[in-house]
Amino acid sequence: MTTLGAIGATPRLGSTIKKSFGKTPDGQPVDLYVLTNISGAEVSITNYGGAVVSLKVPDRSGKLADVVLGYETADGYVNDKSYFGALVGRYGNRIAHAQFVLDGKTYTLAKNNGENSLHGGIKGFNKAVWAAKVLSTKDGQSLELSYLSKDGEEGFPGNLKVKVIYTLTDANALQIEYSAATDKKTVVNLTNHSYFNLAGQSSGNILGHQLMIQADKFTPVDASLIPTGELRDVAGTPFDFRKSTAIGARIDQEDEQLKLGGGYDHNFVLRRAAGVGESLAARVVEPTTGRVLEVWTTEPGVQFYTGNFLDGKTAGKGGMTYPRRAAFCLETQHYPDSPNQPKFPSVVLNPGERYHTITTYKFSVEK
């Protein structure tokens, strides 16, 4: 049973509390919701950009640590350029030349990544204040965020009603359920952009983390990180994570794709059985703490990113700075630039249809 504690209260097991988190530049109040399960795992989520601010899970000795990068106040997220923990939309990842065509009409978006549009544009969903509601659930703590993205916002067509439900289960999993509906044909691709370091959010680089990705193919990119349209076999390349491999094992190899991304910043084509719900996309083990992260999703792809653009200049939680490769992202998604790639799975949403995807981050330990 979910209970909403008083603002400023101390979290207790099996509860959700609400705290003040600051204000937007135009004076809107921003809140932080702290969800704690019955064993003490905890996630903090702000209604500014739906960001996962902190996520505390146990290591093999039961010690909790915050395993995601982020900021201590709303100001950090207002000024953020790295999408720490963000709820990304209307379109996660890149759209080439910041435009696409639907039914013969060209829609022009903001160019905020060279010539391309990235993560929804200049004011994507990560810069919106979402309406928040604490839900009553049987198996954990849930927070519902909702937002109306108006027709023409950042160049996208259609009034898009979006609802995202975060659930911290009593089994130490964070489930994110996305749904949306539109009144005009549009494109949608929502994701979460959490940066993980399973040793703790200020524990050096993630090159020793062991990663497995359930993918036989990936989508190679051009110089502006737009997919070429090819689905390339991972076999014989540094992108073969079908068996658990250290993230850093091949990251500095002489490889054209790694050079273009400055490391890994690529979409992987997930192996998925038809007609199933969530399936395993990736598994990560941090050997020193024993923490394990499994990513389960209904999505066809996952963007694996190794924090190549982090520069150690931005102050995060606890006054810590986050240097290059201090964290990794596993952004479940449809493929980048799908609106311009007819061979990729469709991201088109029609009126009367429901966009619905689920991704679950399951935490455990290896002894």
Token pair for residue 229? 């349209």
Q: Are residues 28 and 151 in the same domain?
A: yes
Query: In this structure, is residue 199 part of a structural domain?
Result: no
Q: Which domain holds residue 156?
A: 4-193
Distance CA 74, CA 80 (A): 10
Q: pLDDT, tens digit, for every residue of 62-99?
A: 999 999 999 999 999 999 999 999 999 999 999 999 99
Q: Is 40 exposed, middle or buried (0-12, 13-18, 19+ CB in 10 A)?
A: middle
* β-bridge mates for residue 160, sequence order: 149, 182
pLDDT at position 10 is 67
Q: Is 299 a residue of the active site?
A: no
DSSP 128-171: SBPEEEEE--SSEEEEEEEEEE-TTGGG--S-EEEEEEEEEETT
Q: How far is CA 198 from the centre of its chain?
A: 16
Lowest mean pLDDT of 9-13, 82-86, 140-144, name the range. 9-13
Q: Band of the pLDDT at 2, cuts 50, 70, 90?
A: very low
Q: Band of the pLDDT at 3, cuts 50, 70, 90?
A: very low
Residue that has been written with the tokens 């737009």 in this structure? 226
Pick the residue with more confidence: 351 or 138? Answer: 351
User: What average pLDDT score do residues 271-292 get?
Assistant: 92
- Of 193, 209, 266, 334, which residue is the catalytic one? 193
Boundary-marking domain end, from 129, 162, 193: 193
Q: Is 193 a residue of the active site?
A: yes
E strands of 170-275, at which residues? 173-182, 186-187, 191-193, 210-213, 215-219, 232-233, 245-246, 265-270
Query: In this structure, is residue 203 part of a structural domain?
Result: no
Boundary-marking domain end, from 162, 193, 224: 193
Boundary-marking domain end, from 160, 193, 226: 193
Q: How far is CA 119 from the centre of its chain?
A: 11
pLDDT at position 272 is 85
- Of 42, 278, 286, 331, which residue is the catalytic one? 331
Residue that has been written with the tokens 């809140």 in this structure? 31
DSSP one-letter code for 239: T
Q: Are residues 56 and 127 in the same domain?
A: yes
pLDDT at position 1 is 37
Distance CA 54, CA 46 (A): 10
Other CB atoms within a 10 A radius of the CB of residue 356 amount to 12
Lowest mean pLDDT of 1-15, 122-136, 158-172, name the range. 1-15
Q: Are residues 181 and 89 in the same domain?
A: yes
Number of H helices, E strands in the chain: 2, 28
Q: How many CA atoms lie within 13 A of 358 on its CB side?
A: 12
Q: Are residues 160 and 306 in the same domain?
A: no
Query: In this structure, is residue 205 part of a structural domain?
Result: no
**Single-letter code of the amino acid located at 277:** G
Residue that has been written with the tokens 């007819």 in this structure? 342
Query: In this structure, is residue 202 part of a structural domain?
Result: no
Query: In this structure, is residue 318 part of a structural domain?
Result: yes
Averaged confidence pLDDT in the chain: 95
pLDDT at position 5 is 45
User: What average pLDDT score do residues 167-187 get?
Assistant: 98
Token pair for residue 365? 């330990």
Q: Are residues 250 and 129 in the same domain?
A: no
Q: Are residues 183 and 230 in the same domain?
A: no
Nearest to 94 by CA among 125, 115, 79: 115
Distance CA 323, CA 257 (A): 22
Q: Is 179 exposed, middle or buried (0-12, 13-18, 19+ CB in 10 A)?
A: middle
Other CB atoms within a 10 A radius of the CB of residue 102 amount to 15
* β-bridge mates for residue 36, sequence order: 15, 42
Query: In this structure, is residue 357 part of a structural domain?
Result: yes
- As for how many domains the chain has, the answer is 2
Token pair for residue 347? 């991201």
Q: Are residues 342 and 246 in the same domain?
A: yes
Query: In this structure, is residue 204 part of a structural domain?
Result: no
Q: Are residues 146 and 292 in the same domain?
A: no
Q: State what percent of residues in the chain have pLDDT above 90.
A: 93
Residue 363 has pLDDT above 50, yes or no: yes
Q: Using an 8 Å Cβ cutoff, are 293 and 284 in contact?
A: yes
Other CB atoms within a 10 A radius of the CB of residue 203 amount to 17
User: What average pLDDT score do residues 316-323 get?
Assistant: 94
Q: pLDDT, tens digit, for every residue of 213-237?
A: 999 999 999 999 999 999 999 999 9
Q: How far is CA 185 from the centre of its chain?
A: 25
pLDDT at position 133 is 97
Nearest to 362 by CA among 41, 70, 36: 41
Query: In this structure, is residue 17 part of a structural domain?
Result: yes
Residue 42's CATH number: 2.70.98.10
Nearest to 95 by CA among 186, 231, 193: 186
Residue 9 has pLDDT above 60, yes or no: no
Q: Are residues 241 and 103 in the same domain?
A: no
pLDDT at position 7 is 43
Q: Are residues 276 and 317 in the same domain?
A: yes
Distance CA 117, CA 166 (A): 27
Q: Are residues 47 and 174 in the same domain?
A: yes
Other CB atoms within a 10 A radius of the CB of residue 186 amount to 25
Q: Are residues 175 and 275 in the same domain?
A: no
